[in-house]
């Protein structure tokens, strides 16, 4: 797929999500994480993500109910994938409310949950987003989402198109 086509698709997704009645962390996460299925069996199976980490469902690297790490050969059903996504969002929402010194709007919280789901709570707690938000600098906090659009590929930190689109969407939601 050409990069121009990817940009148009990204803009279309952004438009749909931002202008639909309700944008939630679950909507953003499920859209960008996807639900990987084995091509032959159509089962939801564990796979290695860009960083080489075993992942399943909507980007889970562990079972949020038991703490068990995802490993090769693991298979879950769609109901379990949704259950894990909802539990993970609930856990992160609760943690973010404790980490943040200010009360976010619903949109700000959804954007921050989506980011924390992707980068982890510890990294979020130390992020420029959290620091700027707590300092009351909303624009700077929003712009800081764009810093988290990279991943390691072959040992080098590079901008990943999907992460870049996701961070832009989270930023727009945060400002909405």
CATH numbers and ranges of domains, the chain:
3-32+78-175 (1.10.530.40)
- 33 catalytic, yes or no? yes
Model confidence band, residue 7 (pLDDT cutoffs 50, 70, 90): low
pLDDT at 8: 57
**8 A C-beta contact, residue 166 and residue 28:** yes
Token look-up 């707590």 returns 134
Q: What is the mean pLDDT of the chain?
A: 89
Higher pLDDT, 2 or 97: 97
pLDDT at 3: 60
- List of long-range contacts for 57-64, beta carbons under 8 Å, 24+ apart: 57/81, 57/84, 57/85, 58/29, 58/30, 58/33, 58/34, 58/82, 58/84, 58/85, 59/29, 59/33, 59/117, 59/118, 60/84, 60/85, 60/88, 64/88, 64/91
pLDDT at 17: 47
Token pair for residue 105?
């709007």
Model confidence band, residue 51 (pLDDT cutoffs 50, 70, 90): confident
Instruction: List pLDDT tens digits, range 61-118.
Output: 999 999 999 999 999 999 999 999 999 999 999 999 999 999 999 999 999 999 999 9
Does residue 4 have a pLDDT over 80? Answer: no
Catalytic residue among 33, 68, 78, 170, which?
33
Does residue 16 have a pLDDT over 80? Answer: no
pLDDT at 6: 56
158: left (phi over 0), alpha (psi -120 to 50) or beta: beta
Token look-up 């990279």 returns 150
């Amino acid at each position: 797929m050409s990069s121009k086509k990817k940009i148009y698709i990204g803009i279309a997704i952004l438009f749909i999500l931002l202008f639909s009645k309700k944008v939630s962390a679950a909507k953003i996460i499920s859209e960008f994480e996807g639900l990987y299925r084995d091509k032959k069996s159509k089962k939801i199976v564990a796979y290695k993500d860009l960083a080489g980490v075993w992942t399943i469902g909507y980007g889970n690297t562990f079972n949020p109910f038991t703490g068990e790490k995802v490993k090769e050969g693991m298979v879950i059903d769609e109901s379990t994938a949704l259950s894990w996504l909802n539990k993970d969002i609930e856990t992160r929402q609760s943690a973010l409310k404790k980490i943040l010194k200010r009360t976010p709007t619903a949109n700000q919280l959804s954007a921050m949950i989506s980011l924390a789901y992707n980068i982890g709570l510890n990294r979020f707690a130390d992020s420029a987003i959290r620091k700027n938000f707590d300092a009351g600098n909303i624009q700077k906090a929003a712009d800081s989402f764009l810093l988290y659009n990279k991943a390691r590929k072959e040992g080098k930190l590079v901008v990943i198109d999907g992460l870049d689109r996701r961070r832009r969407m989270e930023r727009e939601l945060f400002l909405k």
